[in-house]
Amino acid sequence: MEDLLGGPARPDGAAYRLVLCGADRPGPAATAGGYRFLLPLHGELLLLQDGREARLSPGTGGLAAPAAPLRVVQRCPARALVLTIPPHEVDGRLNVPALPMTGLDLTAGLGRVVADMVRAVGEERDTLSEPQFDAACDRITELLCLIVAGRGRPPAPGHLAEVESVVRRHVREHATDPGLTGSAMAQDLGWSLRQIQLALQRAGTTPRELIREERLRLVRDRLRDPLYRHVSITDLAHATGFSSASALSHAFRRRFGVSPRDLRRTGARR
């Protein structure tokens, strides 16, 4: 059997790593440090981590936790894409560390969307700048977390599923509104606050957490965007719904482990 985890394939300095693995790209075992989403392209993969093993084939995917070293080996000729995700990008969305998951269905629904996006980023990675690459991987991670959050719970009643979908869309569209709250959403959408809370509770979040997460991701995108290079942190905070630069900096550091100013300074040097 041959180890499939090869070297990085990403723009220099990007937060994520995308690796094309196969018989012609052998590499050492990967150490712990990030979540790894595995997308088999053909053949069978054997995952070995922390004394457990699992098999993946095309049409199924796996999410390996960062807690222990991971080995991915092949029992026959195989190729796969492996996306390494910073731990806080998963834990921050789910509010708890994700458990290792295998057998994720990638043939239909959201699983197919995620698989198509990973393949597309793999094909276009040489044409993507670092901010573009990270932004695409952010969206993949967001959808992957929705899949993970939905595993192990009963299907949502039709009404609650509709409420969750509409609320997420509403938050994306109105994240910059400083008056956006759960109560304001309930009034705008014509549902009770309790209905919104129940719908989001099933997804492991709350109206306040969802609004904060969307605003922080919006700030991060703007800090990476050259068009916002001359916008001060204070103005950026007010434009994205935060009460002050200090409130933004505190929340941003807790979420991403770095201050907005440091992220902008790091990006400017690249």
Tens-digit pLDDT profile for residues 210-269: 999 999 999 999 998 888 989 999 999 999 999 999 999 999 999 888 999 998 887 644
pLDDT above 70 for 10:
no
pLDDT above 60 for 31:
no
pLDDT score recorded for residue 23: 46
Rounded to whole angstroms, the Cα distance separating 56 from 45 reads 5
The phi, psi pair for 212, rounded to 5°, reads -65, -40
Pairing of strands 70-74, 2-3: antiparallel
Q: Which CATH class is domain 2-150?
A: mainly beta
Q: Which of 89, 48, 31, 125 is nearest to 213 (CA)?
A: 89
Q: How confident is the model at residue 116 (pLDDT cuts 50, 70, 90)?
A: very high
User: Do 102 and 41 contact (CB within 8 A), yes or no?
Assistant: no
Q: What is the mean pLDDT of the segment spanning 177-183?
A: 92
Domain boundaries, the chain: 2-150, 158-268
pTM of the model: 0.66
∠ Cα 249 166 198 (to 5°): 80
Q: Which CATH class is domain 158-268?
A: mainly alpha
What is the 3-state secondary structure of 104-133?
EECCCHHHHHHHHHHHHHHHHHHHCCHHHH
pLDDT in tens, 40-95: 888 887 777 777 777 888 888 888 888 777 777 766 677 888 899 988 888 877 76
